[in-house]
Structure 1
Amino acid sequence: MKNNYADHSAEVNNGERFKFGENWARFLSALDESRITIAEQSLKTMLGRESLEGLRFIDVGSGSGLFSLAARRLGGEVLSFDFDPLSVQCAKVLRSRFFPGDPLWSIHEGSVLDPDFIDGLGQFDIVYSWGVLHHTGNMWKALDLVTRLVQPGGDLFIAIYNDQGAISRRWARVKKLYCSGPFGRWLVKGICIPYFVLPPLLRDLIKLRDPTRIYREYKRERGMSRVHDWCDWLGGYPFEVAKPEEIFKFYKAKGFELQELITCGGGLGCNQYVFHRSPQSS
């Protein structure tokens, strides 16, 4: 498989890319059985399946490796890949911890923007890419190329940042500043972390509720960590967005039918989509 380390390092050094892998490596210290179980349940709910037994599952931009692990525990044959070398290592750490020597979980380094790499992977029953394709630097190309991985009759499960217009453009500038160097990173953290933390904390204190509630409830959504997702949000550059109707029309034209949709209500965050590819499509 093609090694993208030089390309990745150059983008990070030029302030064009967040160190996603570093953040996910830190997240692994918080990973426990309850988070894995929640991740499994989120896959079962969105895909409408209790098991992935006998199915091929690809995790496009595997990040921490949590959902590759969840898919493998549900019985799927899993292929994980990521552009960030440290994210690749995260998946390998989880495989060695939970499925040592497993021939049904393969892990690679590569880019979803590389057509030759994508074509060399084959096709899968389930293509999963949660919160990844908008960080590639060319989202619409990534949204296009990922369809090559979906076999006829297969499913595509993606999550893409919601387009909030001017607000999204301002966030793009914030993320770019974060990745520009130490000064930009600490400036963004100093301004934005209180923005995220203080309002819910004050509401809970006023209502005499447990202020740790926002962290525990967040965990129940996908097994993720609010703190690590905050870091991912603040530094997550490149950064692109799309309206739900744009994604729907894009995939409808390619022969995909929308099966499941969960939006973020027009606000901050990702809209989640599950598309089904017609068995007759080529």
Structure 2
Amino acid sequence: MNVVETIAGVRELVRAERRRGKSIGLVPTMGYLHEGHLSLIRRARTECDFVVVSVFVNPLQFGPQEDYNTYPRDLNRDARLAAEAGAAVIFHPAPAEMYPEGFQTHVEVERLSQGLCGAFRPGHFRGVATVVTKLFNIVTPDRAYFGEKDAQQLALIQRMVRDLNLDVEIVPLPIVRESDGLALSSRNTYLSPAERRAATVLYRALLRGRDLIAAGERDGRRVGEAVRGTLQAEPLVSRIDYVAVVDPETLAEKAALSGRVMLAVAAYIGKVRLIDNIRVVVD
């Protein structure tokens, strides 16, 4: 696996492939790859000739009390898994390569960054929008691949691409789950065995909401209350940041349910903050 640490180096590789008439796919990650990431890489390889995987733990999207320094990292493992999934190169820049001394330009998607996770992680989505814009400008991909687990991030990036007329197709892929329903996340490694068992409550709570809708409930408030009640019944849930019933594109709250609906939660299992969501089409 070719691991490139400089912007100039990855640009040179991409330009060479473009001269050969090849299409370029990008899978942005913070590393410590799991099956969710690998599903993105495999899809990218089926649609693109040359797949770049970025592995960059972005300091701009971490708050002062968050886990930037302890976020799991294993580049050798990532390189092996990415190669097996079909990636051609890993772009692994240092923070100083992406944000050299004097850096002072940021990208912000205003409204979509305010609610849900944005209400609890100030500045997080400005960091996301800034690094993704830089990656798009560096790699110039034809397509970029994102998972639906980070639903607010996905909606924000899709909006940013439209608003700024960026010449890239955003390809979303469904959440990949463990056999018991837990959404895959690099932060799952922080969970103790007991917390890991308890963490399935996020998905079970979302399924409770989905089942209510399937049974005919159309009041978004009642669906949200049922989801929250399921979370609160789990003793190892130490905090609930939000339970939301929203439009998956605009993230606006949906009081009367119809059309496309997303149920989204963020909760702490012990000290570990996890997010999850499911999408429902309401007839």
In which range does the TM-score fall when normalised by the shorter chain? 0.3 to 0.5
Higher helix share: 1
Question: Which structure exhibits the higher relative contact order, with contacts defined as CA atoms closer than 8 Å and separated by 6 or more residues?
Answer: 1
Q: Scaled by the length of structure 1, what TM-score is found?
A: 0.34
